């Protein structure tokens, strides 16, 4: 996030929510958005479903799934045509605007309305509301990123914000909402295969050498493989061994049968886990990890806020912190690595990561920041942290307009599979159900999967609300309960991805974004049939 949660929900005049259902997926932020709207903040929702916040919105643009780039380009076309751009911001702080202007010329409201399945006048109203507001943040989530053009969808929203000068100011910005409590922290620590901690690119001059000196070893200078690109390589034998910790791809990755086939193709498979997940069941070795209450460390949340986590409980057994496990593997594979305390590890992170240079356990525990943490960039111990990014200047100097053309989803409906399936979260379950489906009270509320079917589609198929139906795609077939309503549009349906029995990912498409390799979870073609 470029801004803070408080800033977005308390300092804004208009909130634009794109491809996100925060009341279910991020309920604390969702509650604050609802409170902001109740206090007078206007709300634009761009989402294919009738989410609860859409009922509170001033404008709900019920986009066809997979049309986010066209939507953003249409908004920019209107803003340019009606003279609503921030000319000073564009001139002083950006480059490549003329190419952007040329790229969106063809995205008239009428053309975009046809692509997205919306009213062109409603698109005009949304563009004016967003552009003319003094303070208007964009919030987005997986409804933008989980497409084969997801990265371009994010870039398009960034283009939109720059065009009206709504970056680097309070109550503005481009703000992804993270799905779990330390997703941001994992990214910050170099989880991407082309980066060291703090987004220091492997290919940048001097970066590999810097880490070789810090760690006193030679490093592989080549860019690695993204997680989703690994599965085909397991089947071909290019990848023979795998170590997974804290991840359950059998349940959460698309095309479940393909994932299982890939994992079963490995010569050796290790899982570091707390629970016997569906993925752990396939492992050759399971290493018993520890939960957050059983170890020291930090979490970095969606607004870049680094916060302390303190050990709260002792448990019997032979569990170990992940860092102990990693260190032992390093030692036993021939790289001498001393066991460091979590505080020492944080000190090392600070020493090699400029954006974390002023963050340490000692400082996070001090009276100065205790209870509130520090937001990176925080380059030195005197720095207060950075609530709002890109104030006065972008990290690269000038903000770069990067045009993107709308491209249809990889798999569209046809005669055999006439409906579009989207997936997402529900309030009651947390991601892969590793914890929540072991909670009796939750299972009483949400014990089984379901598929939302539009009223008109259900009528054509002779399906009643609550009836079991068969759902099939080119990748699998499941049986699941129908939830008939007007939440989705005719020709579109929606499922939660949490479950394994009747789970959406038996059906979803494993087509990948060409830049990020994120799967296109949000669009695949399915057939729904009444069970006789």
pLDDT tens readout for residues 343-365: 999 999 999 999 999 999 999 99
Stretch 260-266: mean pLDDT: 97
Q: Check residue 429 and give its pLDDT.
A: 83
Would you say residue 25 has pLDDT above 90? Answer: no
* Residue ranges of E strands in 216-288: 241-245, 268-273, 285-288
Pairing of strands 200-201, 195-196: antiparallel
Q: Check residue 532 and give its pLDDT.
A: 73
pLDDT band at 218 (very low <50, low <70, confident <90, very high): very high
Q: Check residue 442 and give its pLDDT.
A: 87
pLDDT band at 19 (very low <50, low <70, confident <90, very high): very high
**Whole-prediction pTM value?**
0.92
124-151: pLDDT as tens digits: 999 999 999 999 999 999 899 989 999 9
Of 179, 29, 60, the C-alpha closest to 486 is 60
Stretch 290-314: mean pLDDT: 93
Buried b / exposed e across 385-413, counting CB within 10 Å, b at 16+? bbbbbbeeebeeeebbbebbebeebbbeb
Q: Please state, in angstroms and rounded to a whole number, the distance separating the CA atoms of residues 269 and 459.
A: 47
Report the percent of the chain where pLDDT is more than 70: 100
Give me the chain's average pLDDT, please: 93
Would you say residue 304 has pLDDT above 80? Answer: yes
Would you say residue 402 has pLDDT above 80? Answer: yes
Phi, psi of 171 (to 5 degrees): 70, 20
420-465: pLDDT as tens digits: 999 998 888 877 878 888 888 988 888 888 999 999 999 999 999 9
Stretch 240-267: mean pLDDT: 94
Q: Check residue 435 and give its pLDDT.
A: 82
Q: Classify 107 as helix, strand or coil.
A: coil
The CA-atom distances, in angstroms, between 237 and each of 30, 232, 240, 266, 338 are: 44, 9, 6, 7, 34
The lowest-confidence range among 115-119, 306-310, 513-517 is 513-517
Of 47, 64, 69, 65, the C-alpha closest to 56 is 47
With left for phi above 0 and alpha for psi between -120 and 50, is residue 506 left, alpha or beta?
alpha
Q: Check residue 473 and give its pLDDT.
A: 95
> DSSP letters of 495-523?
EES--STT-GGGT----B-TTT--B-TT-
Could you tell me the sign of the dihedral formed by the alpha carbons of 162, 167, 172, 178, in that order?
Answer: positive
143-180: pLDDT as tens digits: 999 899 999 999 999 999 999 999 999 999 999 998 78
Q: Check residue 194 and give its pLDDT.
A: 93
Q: Check residue 246 and give its pLDDT.
A: 85
362-385: pLDDT as tens digits: 999 998 888 899 999 999 999 999
Could you tell me the sign of the dihedral formed by the alpha carbons of 261, 262, 267, 269, in that order?
Answer: negative
């Amino acid at each position: 996030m470029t801004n803070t949660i408080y800033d977005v929900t308390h300092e804004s005049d208009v909130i634009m929510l794109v491809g996100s259902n925060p009341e279910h997926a991020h309920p604390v932020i969702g509650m604050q958005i609802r409170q902001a709207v109740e206090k007078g903040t206007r709300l634009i929702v761009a989402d294919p479903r009738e989410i609860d916040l859409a009922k509170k919105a001033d404008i709900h643009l019920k986009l066809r799934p997979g049309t986010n780039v066209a939507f953003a380009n249409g908004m920019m076309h209107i803003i340019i045509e009606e003279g609503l751009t921030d000319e000073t911001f564009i001139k002083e702080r950006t480059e490549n605007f003329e190419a952007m202007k040329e790229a969106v010329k063809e995205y008239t409201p009428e053309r975009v309305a046809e692509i997205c399945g919306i009213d062109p006048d409603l698109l005009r109203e949304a563009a004016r509301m967003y552009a003319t507001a003094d303070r208007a943040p964009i919030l987005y989530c997986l409804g933008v990123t989980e497409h084969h053009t997801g990265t371009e969808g994010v870039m398009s929203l960034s283009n939109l914000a720059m065009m009206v000068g709504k970056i680097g100011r309070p109550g503005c910005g481009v703000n992804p909402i993270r799905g779990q409590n330390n997703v941001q922290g994992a990214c910050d620590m170099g989880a991407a295969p082309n980066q060291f901690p703090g987004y220091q690119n492997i290919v940048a001059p001097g970066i590999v050498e810097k880490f070789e000196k810090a760690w006193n070893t030679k490093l592989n200078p080549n860019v690695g493989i993204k997680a989703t690109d690994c599965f085909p390589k397991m089947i071909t034998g290019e990848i023979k061994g795998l170590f997974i910790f804290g991840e359950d791809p059998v349940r959460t990755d698309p095309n479940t049968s393909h994932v299982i086939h890939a994992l079963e193709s490995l010569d050796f498979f290790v899982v570091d886990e707390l629970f016997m997940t569906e993925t752990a069941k396939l492992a050759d070795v399971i290493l018993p990890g520890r939960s957050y209450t059983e170890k020291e460390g930090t979490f970095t949340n969606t607004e870049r806020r680094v916060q302390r986590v303190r050990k709260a409980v002792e448990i019997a057994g032979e569990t170990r912190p992940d860092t102990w496990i990693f260190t032992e593997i390093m030692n036993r594979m021939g790289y001498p690595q001393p066991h460091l305390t979590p505080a020492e590890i944080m000190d090392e992170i600070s020493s090699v990561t400029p954006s974390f240079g002023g963050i340490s356990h000692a400082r996070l525990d001090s009276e100065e920041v205790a209870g509130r943490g520090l937001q990176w960039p925080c380059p030195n111990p005197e720095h207060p942290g950075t609530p709002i990014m890109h104030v006065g200047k972008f990290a690269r100097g000038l903000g770069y307009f990067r045009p993107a053309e709308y491209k249809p989803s990889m798999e569209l409906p046809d005669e055999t599979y006439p409906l579009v399936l989207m997936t997402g979260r529900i309030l009651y379950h947390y991601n892969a159900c590793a914890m929540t489906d072991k909670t009796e009270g939750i299972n009483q509320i949400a014990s089984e999967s379901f598929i939302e079917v539009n009223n008109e589609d259900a009528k054509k198929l002779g399906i009643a609300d609550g009836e079991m139906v068969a759902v099939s795609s080119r990748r699998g077939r499941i049986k699941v309960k129908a939830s008939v309503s007007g939440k989705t549009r005719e020709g579109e349906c929606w499922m939660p991805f949490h479950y394994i029995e009747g789970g959406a990912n038996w059906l979803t498409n494993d087509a990948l974004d060409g830049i990020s390799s994120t799967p296109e979870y949000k669009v695949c073609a399915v057939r729904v049939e009444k069970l006789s």
